[in-house]
Amino acid sequence: MTPSRDSSNRTPRFNDQKRKVSILGSTGSVGQSTIDLIERNPESFEVVALTANGNAKTLAEQARRLGAKLAVVADETAYDELKTALSGSGIEAAAGREALISAAEMPADWIMAAIVGAAGMEPTLAAIRQGAAVGLANKETLVCAGSLITREVKASGTTLLPVDSEHNAIFQVLDAERQNTVERLVLTASGGPFRSFSKAQMAAVTPSQALAHPNWDMGAKISIDSATMMNKGLELIEAVHLFDMPESRVDILVHPQSVIHSMVSYVDGSVLAQLGVPDMRTPIAYALAWPDRMPAPVDRLDLAKIATLSFEAPDSERFPALRLTREALRIGGDAPTILNAANEIAVASFLKNGIGFLEIAEIVEETLTGLPKGKLESLDDVIAADAAARRYAHGLVERAA
């Protein structure tokens, strides 16, 4: 499923008229960057709905500033705080799973899907089904249910716009109309904070060390995934579905400066790359204004100042997540769903000092190996596989603690 480039009449061209926008996951790093861009261009956007997990205070502040019609917290225990914070504003407050899905279903021209983890799958699917342009920052949606999501995208005529910097880069330089001329996709990776660490050194790292990404400012879960390089493995799975490319033709290349965000290699030997400073507002701005472009308040790339760009092959022995994600893709069915769920459980435990850094990948591998694999024919299959993997991984975490 190569992302559609048909702007048609569904999405107003940037600056022609206000785009109605909803942001699923507005209090996270991607959501806040999206809001920063919208607030710098108030004449171009009208905010419909905002959602958050449980940060009612920030969500209410955002909703008031942007004049949203609806604000939703996934955590029902935060509802009273949200309702009180929005009192007198005229903004509707709601909470819970069904409310999240309803927010995604509200008519909009453009929807940012930025809820972290598998929790974002159902709301993202609801956004896709309404046929709006969807900015996809929730990679787990395609990881867990790639074949189902691509089917829904085709059925609804949705424009799926990748927001991850790597996939956004490929989208910008991919000749989607002549896919047969594409030889390989190359996803670049910073290598994270432990790129040069030995396994012995990594065994001793703490959550605070793993959260300190050298280039990007990201949320906790994504930062840990970057440190284990699971994030790059999940991006590989996403790229396979997003660009309809076999796993064997998607490479990963470590590029510590994070200046080249990804590349496309063509059959004639040409390699096209998208470059920029490591700031998520660039890919978000591209998706927000697509098929046009809008100004973004990011530092401009100065290659003379940077002077040197370096590259190296990834080490799947020190970073087994890269091997595990390829194995899950080759197994197929619900294997990627199992991998993702186990990783979420393991990362959450590591952040609470329940397990060691290296045990994250060990728990993922044990879960992937230990559970029987099945087909994915419906969303119920995805939910069942996700739940089974979480239970299994929980048991492994408890034994390891």
pLDDT category, 400, cuts 50, 70, 90?
confident
| Residue among 150, 111, 119, 82 nearest 23 (CA) | 111
Q: Please give the average per-residue pLDDT across 272-295, as a whole number.
A: 96
Q: What is the model's pLDDT at position 9?
A: 44
pLDDT digits (tens, 9 = 90+) for 28-71: 999 999 999 999 999 999 999 999 999 999 999 999 999 999 99
End-to-end CA distance of the chain: 42
Q: What is the model's pLDDT at position 5?
A: 53
Dihedral angle at the C-alpha atoms of 265, 311, 259, 268, nearest 10 degrees? Answer: -10
Instruction: Tell me the helices (H) and strands (E) count for the chain, helix number first.
Output: 17, 11
Q: What is the model's pLDDT at position 220?
A: 86
How far, CA to CA in Å, does 81 sit from each of 68, 102, 103? 17, 20, 19
DSSP string, 179-204: GGGEEEEEEEE---TTTT--HHHHTT
Tell me phi and psi for residue 182, to 5 degrees. -85, 130
Is the C-alpha dihedral spanning 86, 103, 25, 282 positive or negative?
negative
Distance between CA atoms of residues 366 and 362, nearest Å: 6
**In contact, 352 and 282? CB cutoff 8 Å:** no
Q: Please give the average per-residue pLDDT across 330-350, as a whole number.
A: 96
Q: Please give the average per-residue pLDDT across 247-254, as a whole number.
A: 96
The number of angstroms, rounded, from the C-alpha of 145 to the middle of its chain's C-alpha atoms is: 14
pTM, to two decimals:
0.89
User: pLDDT above 90 covers what percent of the chain?
Assistant: 87
Q: 3-state DSSP call for residue 401? A: coil
pLDDT digits (tens, 9 = 90+) for 298-308: 999 999 999 99
Size of the chain, expressed as the number of residues it contains: 401
